[in-house]
């Protein structure tokens, strides 16, 4: 059993994913603890959730830095100072540069609200509706230099309903999928079950031919 992992979560928004990760750490599902929540803006509600849970927070405003590299360097320095093993992007609205991604390669995860490789980028729920997709969902993936393009670990799907709006679809993806698959992926990586090797995802040493599907798990997180 590896030592308890030191986890940092990067946020910009509401923090519903963060809350699910906090809950999973608190009830022992994760072999680790969240040591730092770092916000790209001081007024992110997610930072309040972290403070309420007694977790150290920091805000780093990108506009205070001359360029993206200096922002990334400050971010990496804050994470290293907290002796972070794992970094989870949870609604973090800044694009991270190649140097940052390389520094944290294999220990940097993101959650994206679509069934990647469909709909990378922004406004995923609107685009799924506009495309007439029958299914939509969310994906947890390793972060590489390609935006929303790193190897996928786990996905969960919802059926798109004819009456769905962007908001109802977003809400279902969040409540039914996101808050389940992110704690699950964190549990695996914190236990040492998950690794990124030569661009491929290994689960317990075996390459994943395709992302795991929430519905196929024998004992999925609830």
Chain residues in the site for ligand GRF (CB under 6 A):
11, 13-18, 46, 90-91, 111-113, 138, 174, 178
User: Residue 112 catalytic?
Assistant: yes
DSSP state of 173: I
Give the span between the Cα atoms of 91 and 196, in whole angstroms: 22
Comparing every residue's Cβ against ligand GRF, the nearest one is 91
Choosing from 62, 103, 112, 123, the catalytic residue is 112
Omega of the bond prior to 117 within 30 degrees of 0, cis? yes
Comparing CB distances to ligand GRF, the nearer of 88 and 218 is 88
Nearest distance from C-beta of residue 90 to ligand GRF, angstroms: 5
Q: In terms of CB distance, is 91 or 183 closer to ligand GRF?
A: 91
Comparison of 14 and 213: residue with beta carbon closer to ligand GRF:
14
Nearest approach in angstroms of CB 139 to ligand GRF is 9
| Cα separation values, 59 from 50, 63, 113, 182, 184, Å | 12, 12, 24, 23, 27
- Give the three-class secondary structure for 25: helix
Q: At its nearest, how many Å lie between ligand GRF and the CB of residue 154?
A: 13
Would you call 76 helix, strand, or coil by DSSP? helix
By beta-carbon proximity to ligand GRF, the closer residue of 22 and 190 is 22
Consecutive H or E run containing 128: helix 124-130
Place of tokens 């509401």: 14
The CB-of-194 to ligand GRF minimum distance in angstroms stands at 19
Which active-site residues does the annotation give?
112
């Amino acid at each position: 059993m590896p030592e308890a992992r030191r986890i940092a979560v990067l946020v910009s928004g509401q923090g519903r994913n963060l809350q699910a990760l906090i809950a999973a750490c608190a009830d022992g599902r994760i072999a680790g603890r969240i040591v730092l929540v770092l916000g790209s803006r001081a007024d992110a509600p997610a930072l309040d959730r972290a403070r309420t849970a007694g977790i150290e927070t920091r805000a780093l405003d990108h506009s205070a830095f001359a360029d993206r590299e200096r922002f990334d360097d400050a971010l990496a320095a804050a994470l290293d100072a907290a002796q972070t093993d794992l970094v989870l992007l949870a609604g973090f609205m800044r694009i991270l540069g190649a140097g940052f991604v390389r520094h944290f390669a294999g220990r940097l995860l993101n959650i994206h609200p679509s069934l990647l490789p469909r709909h990378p980028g922004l406004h995923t729920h609107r685009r799924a509706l506009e495309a007439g997709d029958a299914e939509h969902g969310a994906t947890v993936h390793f972060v590489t230099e390609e935006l929303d393009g790193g190897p996928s670990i786990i996905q969960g799907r919802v059926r798109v309903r004819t009456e769905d709006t962007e908001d109802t679809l977003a809400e279902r993806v969040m409540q039914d999928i996101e808050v389940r698959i992110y704690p699950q992926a964190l549990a695996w990586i914190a236990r040492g079950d998950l690794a990124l090797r030569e661009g491929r995802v290994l689960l317990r040493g075996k390459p994943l031919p395709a992302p795991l599907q929430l519905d196929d798990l024998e004992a999925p997180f609830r």
